[in-house]
Amino acid sequence: MTKRALAALALIAVSACAEKSDDTLAGYVEADLVYLAPQDAGVIKSLAVKEGDAVAEGEILFTLDPARLSYAAAQASAAADSAAARAADDGSMTKRIEEAQAALELADRTYQRSRALVKDGAVSREKFDSDAANLKAARARLGQLQGERDAMLRDWDAASALASLAERRVADLATAAPSAGRIERIYRRPGEIAAAGEPVLSLLAPANIKLKFFAPEGKLSTLALGDAVRFTCDGCDAPKTAKISYIAREPQFTPPIIYSLKERAKLVFLVEARPDDPETLRPGLPVTIELE
């Protein structure tokens, strides 16, 4: 075969590869990991999983030592019980209010009698003034006691809320899986101190797996949210499908100021797609997107 023929065959092969590359895009698998962390700082008491374990939704993954927060919860509960006892219907405050109400009724009757008799001179002005002052003092006394009772009821509500919060904090020391998935990484082990909000482990949920690829500007008109795309990957027994969930509005590559047909071809836009069957895919796995 002559050199000219070999060159022609090479040109045909390159052209075929170029045509194929126009219909396919390179991409990779990525995942939005769920980082699970305690809401309070503490010592990790138990770790029920290891990396790679499949877990179900609601399964307990790790717990913190509850000793420290249990004391706070017991203290808050005792404070709530004490406030409840002070504000109880049969408590001393209720009896004091009942006595103040009776005193007010008596003072009001005495004042009304004095006011009717002072006009006829049957009661002295001094007696009338004294009865009026007693009535005013009785009203003030009742109002003071009612205000103290209202304050105690608010203290009771506040103490009860604090007790509930303390109990909730103790319950939150056991962290459960928010969804089914697989344990990707473990960052803290039993005996180590975990800070509040510091991840102890990461969870990979199948619903959080996605494909990422970059489409050239000329292909955007053929892509739309919700469209299905086919893809292949290393180790996949057959082509799979995914639905486009995101198309970037801005390009990932900024071309030179002078736009030309050649430079415009360098514009690429990030596209994400959610695979219909994500169970067998792993983050970082290369994929080939087939465009129809």
Reported as a pLDDT band with limits 50, 70 and 90, residue 56 is: very high
User: Would residue 177 count as lying in a domain?
Assistant: no
176 CB contacts (<8 Å, ≥6 apart)? 58, 59, 60, 61
Count of helices and strands (H, E) across the chain: 5, 14
Q: Which residue has the tokens 């101190």?
A: 193
Residues 77, 161: one domain? yes
Residues 100, 163: one domain? yes
What H or E segment, with its residue span, contains residue 28?
strand 24-31
In angstroms, rounded to a whole number, what is the distance separating the alpha carbons of residues 172 and 143?
43
State how many domains the chain has: 3
User: Would residue 10 count as lying in a domain?
Assistant: no
> Model-level pTM?
0.62
Contact (CB, 8 A) for 202 and 34: yes
Mean pLDDT of 14-36: 72
User: Would residue 7 count as lying in a domain?
Assistant: no
Contact (CB, 8 A) for 183 and 203: yes
Q: What are the structure tokens assigned to 67, written together?
A: 């000793």
Contact (CB, 8 A) for 174 and 63: yes
Residues 46, 110: one domain? no
Residue 1 pLDDT > 70? no
Distance of CA 214 to the CA centre of its chain: 32
Residues 28, 79: one domain? no
Residues 72, 167: one domain? yes
Q: What pLDDT is stored for residue 68 in this prediction?
A: 79
In angstroms, rounded to a whole number, what is the distance separating the alpha carbons of residues 27 and 170?
45
Residues 284, 248: one domain? yes
Range of the domain at 49: 36-65+185-203
Mean pLDDT of 188-208: 94
Reported as a pLDDT band with limits 50, 70 and 90, residue 244 is: very high
Please report how many Cα atoms fall inside a 13 Å half-sphere around the Cα of residue 62, on the Cβ side: 29
Residues 122, 136: one domain? yes
Higher pLDDT, 250 or 4: 250
Report CA-CA distances (Å) from 111 to 34, 105, 116, 135, 287.
74, 10, 9, 7, 95
Residues 86, 107: one domain? yes
Residue 243 pLDDT > 90? yes
| Closest to 224 measured CA to CA, from 237, 215, 233, 234 | 215
User: Would residue 199 count as lying in a domain?
Assistant: yes
Residues 57, 197: one domain? yes
In angstroms, rounded to a whole number, what is the distance separating the alpha carbons of residues 24 and 231?
9
17 CB contacts (<8 Å, ≥6 apart)? none
Q: What pLDDT is stored for residue 154 in this prediction?
A: 83
- The overall average pLDDT reported for the chain is 83
Residue 269 pLDDT > 70? yes
Reported as a pLDDT band with limits 50, 70 and 90, residue 167 is: confident
Looking at residue 228, which CATH number applies to its domain?
2.40.30.170
Residue 223 pLDDT > 70? yes
Contact (CB, 8 A) for 292 and 33: no
Residues 155, 247: one domain? no
Rg (CA), the chain: 39
